[in-house]
């Protein structure tokens, strides 16, 4: 998610090339996102489960474990994403007509090393982004639950509340990591000497353009990444909830499954017709109700 929010590249392109100009580099972007997010998510869950026993130690919290696990997953996932990110940036800046041409040019000029150009800057953005995002998400969830409890409501978050928390988390993480995004964009597009490191690029930008230039595009980036934060953080949790078999309806109302009256499908009372023989199953009360309905519906002789 962090890689989708470049703030500098391609300013004004949509006005000169029409709608098509808004989507340069979309193929490498999709490929990189798919591989990166899949590996990051799997690594995050695995690391979190592996470190879960450490929560019993003094001074170790769940948030710390989540942040560390997110960092591990991000480092691994970003390794697969960086080559695609390089191609995407090249295309967004209009340096090549398509991904194949961009790949050939980068390999010819710099070799495989060129495909990993800006790795330090990318990791410097991605790792803080996801760590900040996870921490913000967990803390905002906690605050939201406390507010709901304070006004006498269930502290279980509904779908829209979960999505809202994810949106705010993504926006916060995007705004705070904008400097790393600016540095990554400058290094990947060749706007600075290839020999420059992250610190040198930051010093050069601050000296020539002022320190605020490192936050160039922060607002558009936050607005752009916010809905992606909802899909990434909240969507992931909602998907886990569904896969785990949780019934959100019970949670939203603060009720348990035992509190809800059992209503078998295709009952005589709900359909107004005798049930099929195959439907006469379930507990004793239901069987008696079904048998009674059959007797009442029998033709009178």
pTM: 0.56
DSSP codes joined into one string, 211-260: GGGGGTTHHHHHHHHHHHHIIIIIHHHHHHHHHTT--HHHHHHT--GGGS
Cα(199)–Cα(126) distance, rounded to whole angstroms?
Answer: 17
pLDDT tens by residue, the chain, 301 residues: 554 444 444 444 444 555 556 667 788 888 888 888 888 888 888 898 899 899 888 888 877 887 898 889 889 888 888 888 888 888 878 778 888 888 888 888 888 888 888 787 778 778 888 888 888 888 888 898 889 888 888 878 888 888 888 899 989 988 998 888 888 788 777 777 777 778 888 888 888 888 888 898 889 888 988 888 888 777 777 777 777 765 444 444 444 444 444 445 554 444 454 444 444 444 555 555 555 554 555 555 4
Can you list the domains of the chain with their CATH numbers? 2-257 (1.50.40.10), 263-297 (no CATH)
For 18, left (φ over 0), alpha (ψ -120 to 50), or beta? Answer: left
Cα(108)–Cα(233) distance, rounded to whole angstroms?
Answer: 39
Helix (H, G, I), strand (E, B) or coil at 209: helix
- C-alpha distances (whole Å) from 271 to each of 22, 127, 198, 264 are 54, 56, 70, 11
């Amino acid at each position: 998610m962090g890689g989708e929010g470049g703030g500098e590249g391609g300013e004004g392109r949509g006005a000169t090339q029409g709608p098509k100009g808004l989507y340069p580099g979309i193929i490498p972007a999709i490929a990189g996102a798919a591989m990166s997010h899949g590996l990051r998510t799997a690594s995050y869950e695995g690391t979190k489960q592996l470190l879960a026993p450490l929560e019993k130690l003094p001074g170790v919290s769940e948030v710390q474990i989540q942040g560390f696990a997110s960092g591990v997953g991000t480092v691994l996932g970003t390794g697969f994403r960086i080559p695609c990110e390089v191609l995407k940036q090249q295309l967004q800046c209009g340096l090549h007509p398509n991904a194949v041409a961009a790949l050939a040019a980068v390999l010819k000029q710099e070799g495989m090393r060129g495909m990993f150009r800006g790795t330090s800057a990318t990791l410097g953005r991605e790792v803080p982004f996801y760590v900040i995002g996870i921490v913000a998400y967990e803390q905002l969830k906690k605050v939201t639950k406390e507010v709901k409890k304070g006004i006498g409501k269930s502290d279980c978050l509904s779908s829209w509340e979960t999505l809202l928390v994810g949106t705010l988390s993504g926006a916060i993480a995007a705004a705070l990591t904008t400097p790393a995004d600016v540095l990554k964009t400058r290094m990947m597009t060749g706007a600075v000497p290839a020999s420059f490191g992250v610190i040198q690029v930051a010093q050069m930008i601050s000296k020539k353009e002022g320190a605020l230039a490192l936050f160039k595009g922060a607002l558009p980036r936050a607005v752009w990444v916010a809905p992606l934060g909802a899909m990434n953080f909240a969507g992931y949790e909602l998907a886990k909830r569904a896969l785990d078999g949780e019934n959100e309806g019970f949670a939203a109302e603060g009720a348990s499954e035992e509190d809800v009256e059992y209503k078998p499908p295709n009952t005589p009372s709900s359909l107004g017709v005798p049930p099929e023989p195959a439907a006469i199953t379930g507990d004793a009360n239901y069987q008696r109700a079904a048998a009674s309905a059959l007797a009442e519906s029998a033709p009178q002789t």
